[in-house]
Structure 1
Amino acid sequence: MADVEFRPDAGRYWLNHLAMAVVLGAAAGIALVVMGNPYPWTGPVAAALALGLRGLYLRSEAMADVWRLTDNALVGPGARRVALVDITLVRKLMGHVQVVTKQGDKILIRYLADAPSAVAAIEAARKRA
């Protein structure tokens, strides 16, 4: 098997930030209403601005996290290496893939455009290992 790379997708990255902005903005607006604030619209606006800035600030770091699937391991950023025989669970988690090891380590391969395909590729490699 040739090595397979899992690269973050910018569209998924921004979609996740949009979802966080909507949920947290609604929560902030509701909290302001409950507190009796006469300007509850400031909660959603502040959440959208904060998450937009967060997205801009962390984008280059998030887009640099590339994982590679080899014949016997999953190799990630920062010299992370997980032997395929040590993986007990692989599942889709929103636009991410969560990998759980026998040791209890939980690894998140973030912002994938096609997380189900990544899960299938890792599971197929595990069966061959």
Structure 2
Amino acid sequence: MFDPTKETPPEADERAVARFRADRGTYIKAHLLLALVGGAVATAVLAAIGNPHPWVGIVAAVLGVGVRGAYLMSEELSAVWTLTDRALVGPDGRRVLLENVEKVRKLGSAAQVITRTGDKHLIKFLADPDAVRAQIDGARGA
């Protein structure tokens, strides 16, 4: 069912084929990975420059990424992309006609849609980005 507070409506004569929503588990895993990798790098840099407390790097990264992730979670998880028989309709009024899609590729837990004019749209935090890519490619006849 269409939710006008979170989705851009498809046009009246379009038929919705699929809806792509961000996955909470994928969102949390992505932020944990970012915190751990960022923390390891920060700790290594602090140790390399001779800081007497390099452990602060991991603590700061985990806290920073955790606070940011918690703050933005509701916004990121409310994003919905609708694949119709003619277009890909995204949040904030974004609309990409399927005939204008040059390619769709997987980037981590996201599907990146690239148009013929070079515009890029990211459908983020997907549980199965390969399936989303395949559905969009199938709808556009690629």
TM-score range, shorter chain: over 0.9
Question: How many residues align structurally?
Answer: 128
Which residue matches 2:60? 46
Residues 94-113 of structure 1 aligned to structure 2 (within 5 Å): 94-113=108-127
Q: Return the offset for 1:39.
A: 0.9
User: Which is helix-richer, 1 or 2?
Assistant: 1
| Residue type at the aligned position of 2:87 | A
Question: For residues 33 and 4 of structure 1, what CA distance do their matches in structure 2 show?
Answer: 49
TM-score normalised according to structure 2 size: 0.87
Residue deviations 1:65-89, cap 9 Å, x none? Answer: 1000000000000110000000001
Q: Return the offset for 1:31.
A: 1.0
Work out which of the residue numbers 35, 42, 47 in structure 1 matches 2:49. 35
Q: Return the offset for 1:3.
A: 2.3
Which residue matches 2:12? none
TM-score normalised according to structure 1 size: 0.96
1:18 counterpart = 2:23? no
Question: For residues 136 and 57 of structure 2, what CA distance do their matches in structure 1 show?
Answer: 41
1:84 counterpart = 2:98? yes
Secondary structure of the residue aligned to 1:104 is: coil
- RMSD across aligned positions (CA): 1.2
Question: For residues 103 and 19 of structure 1, what CA distance do their matches in structure 2 show?
Answer: 33
Question: For residues 114 and 73 of structure 2, what CA distance do their matches in structure 1 show?
Answer: 25
Q: How many percent identity over aligned positions? A: 50
Question: For residues 97 and 124 of structure 2, what CA distance do their matches in structure 1 show?
Answer: 19
Contact 2:22-2:76 within 8 A present in 1 as well: yes
Residue 106 and residue 88 in structure 1: after superposition, are their counterparts in 2 closer, same or farther (change >3 A)? same
Residue 2 and residue 80 in structure 1: after superposition, are their counterparts in 2 closer, same or farther (change >3 A)? closer
Contact 2:27-2:125 within 8 A present in 1 as well: yes
Q: Which runs of 4+ in 1 moved over 6 A?
A: none
Secondary structure of the residue aligned to 1:112 is: coil
Contact 2:16-2:82 within 8 A present in 1 as well: no
Runs of 5+ consecutive residues of structure 1 not aligned to the other structure: none
